[in-house]
Structure 1
Amino acid sequence: MAADTELRELAPPAFAHAVPSLLGVYDRAMRPPEDQLPGRAAVMSGHAGYPGFRSVVAVRGERPVGFAYGFHGGRGQWWHDVVTEALRARGRARLAHRYLSDTLEIAEVHVDPDEQNRGVGRSLLHALCVGRPERTAVLSTRTGPTAARHLYGSCGFTEILEDFSFPGSPAQSFSVMAARLPLGAPGDRRPRGRSPWWRWTG
């Protein structure tokens, strides 16, 4: 990661306030239909209230260029329950117990396209996971030989559910990946405290 890019952690209220700026990174990275952005903003803001929430933002020149966040996954949460049921339906109840019973659910990892392939995503992922109390981390990513899938695999994530379509997204295929914590190197790069950069957003 470039020396002039800094990792900063946002407390849940600060993250919720920063969602409009972070949504710009999400939009540039994912290119979703424009009408989906308000719903994504609502989901991200809602996640800030989940137990064990942590967010890490990559900042260059006081501008966010990437972000990642997650929380403690558990019963009653939509993603957790959908994936657990899908694993059981495919005869993989043991995997559900092994990877979802005490897990950090990584909801989003996104990097501005102009900043990709510079180690930002890897640094965000490790900073998000370092020091977590959970046994495992889980996430979903689009199926196929993507850069994101390669990144997760290189950080120790393995596929536990393949070619899966989440309810509401029947046309898209995802892979669910999981890893034991702690992740391997680069290890203990922690964010530099909590940042006030979000105060100018919105």
Structure 2
Amino acid sequence: MTVEIRRLTGPEFAVLSPRLVEIYIEAMDYDPAISQSRTDVWRREITQPGFTGLVALDGDAVLGVAYGYLGAPDLWWDRQVRRGIREAGGPDTDQLALMRDYFEVAEIHVRPGHQGRGIGRKLLTSLLWNAPGSHALLSTPEVDNEANFAFGLYRSLGFRDVLRHFFFDGDARPFAVLSAPLPLPGQGLRSPA
């Protein structure tokens, strides 16, 4: 299997969104009934400053998706994380700085049958290479002892806890919110062309 990571334009991402949301639903074990509402959200998010969307391809088969953009206080996810920080007794100085300048990894998903093969690592490192912001922030469902491919990947790339066992409005599962300074370890800035 030869996996290619391909950057999508905003219009390409919008057209492919229904297929990409299927991967999200499968990987997160969500009810397929949310497909259309999630597709609508993903299509709107292509207009966010710093939007970057990627797919992992094996030939014509889409094995994974990742996208993100600059975080901002007027966005739902940012407001949720700020609420969690307040509920945990913050914000402290570091949290204030973090929330002022970050790239939100909105989604990163690999089809379950293809996880553990390095596809998520390729997607995430490609997404964050030269990403705007001083940090990357993401959320992932909590699992016992962090025993899944997602936590292993995030920890190996230097992601640390911001919030643990946090409940986003509308989701019954607890999530971890993690951050990593940018650039990631081993990633330098793109050299001038």
TM-score by length of 2: 0.90
Specify every segment of 5 or more residues in structure 1 that has no aligned partner in the other structure, as ranges. Answer: 191-202
Q: Verify the 8 A CA contact 1:165 1:174 in the aligned structure 2.
A: yes
| 2:68 corresponding residue in structure 1 | 70
The one of 158, 168, 172 aligned to 1:166 = 168
* CA offset digits 1:92-137 (Å, max 9, x no partner): 2124313211100001000012221110000100000001231000
SS of residue matched to 2:78: helix
- Whichever residue aligns with residue 164 of structure 1, its letter is F
| 2:88 corresponding residue in structure 1 | 90
Q: Is 1:137 the counterpart of 2:139 in the alignment? A: no
Mapping for residues 170-185 of structure 1, pairs under 5 Å: 171-185=172-186
**CA distance in structure 2 between the partners assigned to 1:27 and 1:87 by the alignment:** 27
SS of residue matched to 2:122: helix
Aligned identity (percent) is 36
**CA distance in structure 1 between the partners assigned to 2:138 and 2:151 by the alignment:** 10
RMSD: 1.6
Mapping for residues 1-202 of structure 1, pairs under 5 Å: 2=1, 4-94=2-92, 95-144=94-143, 145=146, 146-169=148-171, 171-185=172-186, 187=187
Moved more, 122-131 or 86-95: 86-95
Which of 1 and 2 has higher RCO (CA within 8 Å, sep 6+)?
A: 1
TM-score by length of 1: 0.86
**CA distance in structure 2 between the partners assigned to 1:30 and 1:82 by the alignment:** 19
- Whichever residue aligns with residue 135 of structure 1, its letter is S
- Whichever residue aligns with residue 104 of structure 1, its letter is F
**CA distance in structure 2 between the partners assigned to 1:126 and 1:42 by the alignment:** 26
| 1:199 corresponding residue in structure 2 | none
Structure 1 residue 75, shift from structure 2 partner: 1.2
How many residues matched? 185
Specify every segment of 5 or more residues in structure 2 that has no aligned partner in the other structure, as ranges. Answer: none
- Whichever residue aligns with residue 178 of structure 2, its letter is M
**CA distance in structure 2 between the partners assigned to 1:112 and 1:158 by the alignment:** 25
**CA distance in structure 2 between the partners assigned to 1:89 and 1:114 by the alignment:** 37
Q: Which runs of 4 or more aligned residues in structure 1 lie more than 2 Å from their structure 2 counterparts after TM superposition?
A: none
**CA distance in structure 2 between the partners assigned to 1:40 and 1:81 by the alignment:** 19
- Whichever residue aligns with residue 130 of structure 2, its letter is G
